[in-house]
Structure 1
Amino acid sequence: MFTTGSVDGTVERKAFFGSMIFETVKQDDGALGITTGVENPVPLVILFLVLTAVLTMIQAIYRGLKQRREQLLEASDS
């Protein structure tokens, strides 16, 4: 991400469906100037929403299974 390759000057690379941008500038003294930022926040928001939905479903399934286990344990004690 942070290499300039064989090109002198500015190299711009995008990641995660174009939402993140990495810009590398090779300076005269041989150092690299690196700039990062968010260009398009939509994929990041979608990822956040999907992860939130998946984690909520996992938590609901876990609670349901835990409740079912308790019911079965109570039924077997009777």
Structure 2
Amino acid sequence: MFSTGSDEFGERKAFFGSMVFETVEKDNGATGITLGIDNPVPIVLLFLVLTAILTIVQIIYRELKQRRDQLLSEMPGN
């Protein structure tokens, strides 16, 4: 992602075009790298999907724990 050819400068896009990496040659011969966001939609969608998955996992865990506690309280001797 961050590497280019020896004389290759320009723009590279990543993550479905949402992130942009640009390399430019500076006046003193050094290479400058900039990073930016070109299209935030894929990043927002990823955040929403991950939030939904984590919420579902948490709900399932709570339900299973509640069911376990219920079964343990119904055991004879408890």
Both structures adopt the same fold (TM-score exceeding 0.5):
yes
**What is the RMSD of the two structures over their aligned residues, measured on CA atoms?**
1.5
Aligned equivalents of 2:27, 2:2: Cα separation in 1: 17
Unaligned runs of 5+ in 2: none
Structure-to-structure mapping, 1:9-24, within 5 angstroms: 10-24=9-23
Aligned equivalents of 1:37, 1:49: Cα separation in 2: 21
Q: CA deviation at 1:31?
A: 1.2
Q: CA deviation at 1:6?
A: 3.9
Aligned length: 77
Unaligned runs of 5+ in 1: none
- 2:33 matched to which residue of 1? 34
Structure-to-structure mapping, 1:1-78, within 5 angstroms: 1-8=1-8, 10-76=9-75, 77=77
Q: CA deviation at 1:28?
A: 4.2
Give the letter for the 1:5 counterpart.
G
TM-score (norm 2): 0.87
SS of 2:36 mapped into structure 1: strand
Aligned equivalents of 1:69, 1:4: Cα separation in 2: 55
Percent of aligned pairs with the same amino acid:
66
